[in-house]
A and B are shown apart, each in its own frame.
Chain A
Amino acid sequence: MTSSLPATALPDRARQDTRWRTPLFDFQRTLSWRGRVALGVLAWGLFLAAWQMLARAGIAPEQLFPAPTDVFSALYRLLTEQQFLSDIRASLTRILISFAIAASLAVPLGVLMGAFPVVAAFGNALVSPFRYLPAPSFIPLLLMWLGTGEAQKIALLCLGVVWFLITLVMDNTRAVRVDLIETAKTLGATRRATLWTVVVPAALPAIVDTLRQMLAVSWTYLVIAEIVAATDGIGAMMMRARRFVRVDDIMAGILVIGLLGLLLDLLFRALHWWVFPYLRQRRQ
């Protein structure tokens, strides 16, 4: 194992890398951590600079196409003067509550369907068609059943992700290696023990990844939910801004949604790293 070797026995990495030049656009090229961050920052820098120049060039009226600097100052104004923070809190609460409900339904169901073909044959008949129904088409029904309050919005957000979550968690569970399950059986594990000690832990890393990706989908339904009969939330703020042609406010809303999505994604990645220590140092 290389880690036990003295440092001097390791090849001089820097020198080895300059033996010949790896082409910049080589296939499957490895990149350093710094290189990746630099390229990411460069991409954003170019994007913002181009946007700024286009906005200031006077092609479109400034009110309809504000520059990034205008958007940032709008965001500052919204946060300091117009209680935008409570809108953000309302939206975030809706996302988290609805997603918790959807996940607590979908994960157990998906695991059972993935583990037992009998359950899958029964459940898929119901879940598959629902997946193709657009969640917003339920809005009129939800308004009549649940009124215009929180329950209606949370139900819509749940409906938007729950069917996909069930299907994806089922696939994650189905992908658990058969020989691991058979090993547990020959070691004397009962079916219940095999489910809890092999199927669930083997599928869990993939399930957490699925949850992370579906949380992003949840955000796409947020604005739709908050367009309908809402007085608070990021979406409601954006609809208000549209009435007063505050494009800078709308863009600030989009920016905040993007940033929050990114933040939650990072939190999920951190959770993944923390809960699955055995996936950290894969053998090369």
Chain B
Amino acid sequence: MNAYAASRLHSAPVARRELRVEGLSKVFTARRGSVVTAVDDVSFRVLPGEVCALLGPSGCGKSTVLRMVAGLEQPSDGSIVLSGREVTGPGRDRGLVFQSYTCFPWLTVRENVAYGLKVTGSTLALREGTVDYFLERVKLTPFADRYPDELSGGMRQRVAIARTLANGPDLLLMDEPFGALDSETRWQMQRLLLDVVRREGMSVLIVTHDVDEALYLADKIVCLSRHPGRVRDILMPPAEKPDEPEALYSAPAFVRLRSGILRMLREEGATAPLGETP
């Protein structure tokens, strides 16, 4: 058994790593006592090894859904079950990659990637092998001893992804992870992400408002409507992904889905007058 496989002994067996979200709701109480329903009766599943995108206009509560799955926010109603266990708080079985760069600036790239293994008490020998493996996967081996502030935005997100995967989660959560990157870097990162998660058989739940990102990355797209956030549609893009971003605009199967989703998003946008978006 190699070091990386050993580090994942705590994870659930691959076949059982299913996320089941049932009737999830979130109600916020605003300052003046008025009640806002951000998420209303959302249900979906993420199967083992599946990449699922939560897509919707801004303010549809997709990030709130993700934060509830991560255990950082309490649901008002409904249940979240991962690998047969009810979610009752944050845990290492659900690693979250934020849009903002969350590398720890006082640690080197290597120490950042090792962080989760270190705080959960993995032995040093185990840690080193796993860290090297994931540094290699996200192509950061030459930068292992740099500090995050010396790196570009795309590299910092690769550190965050490697750090989360090295911890051996059952489910990788991502909150618009490439939103702050330029389009070419974003494309490269999406390709790299698919490459890494396919190899590990990792289940992914990714929040995005970018239709092309959802179409390219996801096996399943959960489309949310706005005010309140409800599941409007669940779509399955073709499993065969193009090699070039341009192909997303020309392959007939993608073109049909893409225009369908864009129409839906425009309808959602029209339901709320401009300026109401937070």
Enumerate chain A interface residues (CB-CB to B < 8 A). Answer: 177, 179-180, 182-190, 193, 197-198, 201-202, 204, 276-279, 281-283
**Are B167 and A276 touching (Cβ within 8 A)?**
no
Establish whether residues A188 and B104, one from each chain, have CB atoms under 8 Å apart when the complex forms. Answer: no
- B71 contacts across to A, CB distance below 8 A: 185-186
Inter-chain contact A193/B95, CB cutoff 8 Å: no
Chain B 79-107 interface residues, beta-carbon cutoff 8 Å to A: 90-92, 94-96, 98, 100, 102, 104-106
Residue of A nearest to B91 (CB): A188
Known: A179-B98, A179-B102. A187 touches B149 (CB 8 A): no
Nearest opposing residue in chain A for B101, CB measure: A179
How many B residues touch the partner, as a band?
Answer: 20 to 34
Which of B's residues lie within 8 Å of A, judged by CB?
70-72, 90-92, 94-96, 98, 100, 102, 104-106, 115-116, 118-120, 147-151, 160, 163-164, 167, 173
Name the prevailing secondary structure of the A interface residues. helix
Q: Once bound together, how far apart are the Cα atoms of A193 and B94, in whole Å?
A: 18
Nearest chain A CB to B173's CB is how many angstroms away? 8
Cα distance, A193 to B119, chains bound together (Å): 7
The answer to whether A183 touches B106 (Cβ under 8 A) is: no
CB neighbours (8 Å) of A283 from chain B are 149-151
Closest CB pairs A-B (n = 8):
A188-B92, A187-B116, A185-B90, A278-B147, A186-B96, A189-B119, A183-B102, A188-B120
- Closest chain A residue to B115, Cβ basis: A187
Question: Contact: B94 with A278, CB < 8 Å?
Answer: no
Distance between B28 CB and nearest chain A CB, rounded to angstroms: 17
Quick check: B149 and A282 within 8 Å, CB to CB? yes
A184 touches B98 (CB 8 A): no
Q: A276 touching B106 by the CB < 8 A rule?
A: yes
CB distance from A1 to the nearest CB of B (A): 8
Tell whether A278 pairs with B120 under 8 Å between CB atoms, given A186-B96, A187-B115. Answer: no
Give A279 to B173 CA distance when docked, in angstroms: 30
Nearest chain B CB to A133 CB, angstrom units: 35
Which of the residues A182, A188, A281 comes within 8 Å of B116, measured between beta carbons? A188
Q: How many A-B residue pairs have CB under 8 A?
A: 77
Q: Are A188 and B147 in contact (CB under 8 A)?
A: no
Q: For B105, give its contact among A189, A190, A278 (CB under 8 Å).
A: A278
> Closest Cβ of chain B: how far from A195's Cβ, in Å?
11
Contact between B100 and A179, CB atoms less than 8 A apart = yes
Q: Is the CB of A187 within 8 A of B72?
A: no
Contact A201 B70 (CB under 8 A): no
With known contacts A179-B100, A201-B104, A184–B150 Cβ distance under 8 A: no
Determine whether the beta carbon of B147 is less than 8 Å from that of A187.
Answer: no
| Other 18 A-B pairs with CB < 8 A, given A182-B90, A183-B96, A187-B119 | A177-B102, A182-B70, A182-B98, A183-B102, A183-B160, A185-B71, A186-B70, A187-B95, A187-B115, A187-B120, A193-B119, A197-B118, A277-B147, A278-B105, A278-B106, A278-B147, A279-B105, A283-B150
What are some 27 contacts across the A-B interface (CB < 8 A)? A180-B104, A183-B98, A184-B115, A184-B119, A186-B92, A186-B94, A186-B96, A187-B164, A188-B92, A188-B167, A189-B116, A189-B119, A190-B119, A197-B115, A197-B118, A202-B105, A202-B106, A204-B106, A277-B147, A278-B106, A278-B147, A278-B148, A281-B149, A281-B150, A282-B149, A283-B150, A283-B151
Would you give the shortest CB distance from A79 to chain B, in whole angstroms? 43
- List, in ascending order, chain A residues with CB within 8 A of B147's CB: 277-278
Chain B, Cβ-Cβ closest to A182: B72
| Chain B residue nearest in CB terms to A1 | B150
Q: Which residue of A lies closest to B143 (CB)?
A: A1
- A190, closest chain B residue (CB): B119
- Do A180 and B115 form a contact, CB below 8 Å, given A187-B95, A188-B91, A188-B120? no
Which residue, of B104, B160, B167, has the highest number of chain A Cβ atoms within 10 A?
B104
On chain B, the residues within 8 Å of A277 by CB distance are: 147
> In whole angstroms, what is the CA distance A40 to B28 when docked?
56
Cβ A188 vs Cβ B149 within 8 A: no
A185 to B67, CA, bound (A): 12
Given known contacts A179-B102, A201-B104, A278-B149, A186 and B95 CB-to-CB distance under 8 angstroms: yes
Q: Chain B residues near A179 (CB, 8 Å)?
A: 98, 100, 102
- Complex CA–CA separation, A180 to B160 (angstroms): 11
Nearest opposing residue in chain A for B150, CB measure: A283
Q: How far is the CB of A227 from chain B (nearest CB, A)?
A: 43
In angstroms, how far is the closest chain A Cβ from the Cβ of B207? 14
Residues of A within 8 A of B92 (CB): 186-188
